[in-house]
Each structure stands twice: as C-alpha cells, then as structure tokens.
C-alpha cells in the first residue's frame, strides 16, 4: 500500500471520526433535553373550565384528570345530564390542552432529531424512530357539545319536583 493510499485512508477515517463525534454530541444534547422536558412535564398541570363555568378539570400533561372541581352553583343551576356533559367537555378540553402543551415541549427535541439519521438510514429494515415519534401525540376525543343553558321553564320544573334529589324519579 502506498503512502498516498494510507493518507487517503487516514483522511477518510478522520472524516468518519468527526461525523461520529458530531452524532454522539447530538445524541447527548437530545438525551439532556429529553430529561429536562420529562421533568418539566411531570411537574406541570393544565386547568380548564367548562363553557358554563360550573366545572374545572385539572389534568396532568398526559391528559389524565387529577382533580375535578364542581362549583356550588353546579347543583343549583344544572341537571345531572347537563352537568355530566359539562364535566365531559372540560375533561376533553383539558386533554387537548395537555396534548398541545406536551407537543410544544417536545418540538425542540423533534427538531434535533432531524439532524440525526433515522434507524432505516443506518440499518435497512429497522423501524423508523421518527415515524414512532410522530404517533406519540394522538388527537384527544372529539369535542363534546357544550352544555346548553337551562331554560327558565326547565329549571323551574326540575327544581319544583326536586328530581335531582331522588335520581330523576
């Protein structure tokens, strides 16, 4: 092997080493950023009120309700059915907000992922990590109809009969 061939191999090895070092640096930045995002999201909750302001839902960033608060007026101004719709509306809205918050928090890491080759680029036939990441944030359930305000006539009949106390019987 000639001196020229050895110099070419050393130059190629240097370029490869530099590429590997850059790749490892990117992986380390991603690992640190992921750790920070996980910690921040673990400490974060979202709070959402229903349209009729009778229900507040606090949810973690996975969209799981951690507290449901009903105002005292909820039992005076609503029927069980309408209150149920208000709760459902607030839970779904909290899930959507939590998903948006999580998606926004993970966006910089996904941007960093664009700098790194995907698994199929390195080993043909391997699953795409980028495709898996794209499925992490599924859209929450469709929005519930907001609870319609109770009309005066409905309200009077409901409370006159006190059906809210005996399960509607």
pLDDT at 51 over 50: yes
Q: Which residues pair with 49 in a beta bridge?
A: 56
Per-residue b or e along 102-133, where b marks 16 or more CB atoms closer than 10 Å to that residue's CB: beebbeebeeebeebebbeeeeeeeeeeeeee
pLDDT at 132 over 80: no
pLDDT band at 81 (very low <50, low <70, confident <90, very high): very high
Q: What is the mean pLDDT of residues 91-102?
A: 94
123: left (phi over 0), alpha (psi -120 to 50) or beta: beta
**Under 8 Å between Cβ of 113 and 130:** yes
pLDDT at 157 over 90: no
In angstroms, rounded to a whole number, what is the distance separating the alpha carbons of residues 52 and 89?
10
Cβ partners under 8 Å of residue 136, min gap 6: 106
What is the third-level CATH fold of 45-161?
Ybab; Chain: A; (3.30.1310)
Q: Phi and psi (nearest 5°) for 45?
A: -130, 160
Radius of gyration of the chain (CA): 27
Torsion, Cα of 74, 78, 79, 83 (10° steps): -60
Whole-model pTM over 0.75: no
Token output for 132: 């898996």
Q: What is the mean pLDDT of residues 145-168?
A: 54
Give the other-Cβ count within 10 Å of 134's Cβ: 10
What's the pLDDT at 59?
A: 96
Tens of pLDDT, residues 117-129: 766 777 677 777 6
What's the pLDDT at 52?
A: 95
Top mean pLDDT of 26-30, 34-38, 95-99, 148-152 is at 95-99
């Amino acid at each position: 092997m000639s001196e020229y061939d050895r110099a070419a191999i050393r130059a190629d090895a240097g370029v490869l080493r530099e590429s590997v070092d850059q790749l490892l640096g990117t992986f380390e930045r991603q690992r640190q950023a992921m750790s920070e995002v996980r910690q921040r999201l673990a400490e974060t909750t979202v709070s959402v009120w229903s349209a009729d302001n009778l229900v507040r839902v606090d949810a973690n960033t996975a969209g799981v309700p951690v507290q449901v608060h009903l105002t005292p007026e909820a039992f005076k101004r609503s029927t069980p059915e309408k209150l149920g719709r208000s709760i459902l509306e607030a839970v779904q809205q909290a899930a959507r907000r939590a998903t948006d918050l999580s998606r926004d928090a993970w966006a910089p890491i996904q941007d960093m992922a664009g700098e790194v080759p995907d698994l199929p680029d390195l080993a043909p036939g391997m699953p795409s990590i980028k495709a898996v990441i794209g499925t992490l944030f599924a859209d929450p359930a469709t929005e519930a109809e907001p609870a319609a305000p109770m009309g005066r006539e409905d309200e009077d009949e409901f409370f006159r009969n006190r059906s809210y106390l005996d399960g509607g019987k």
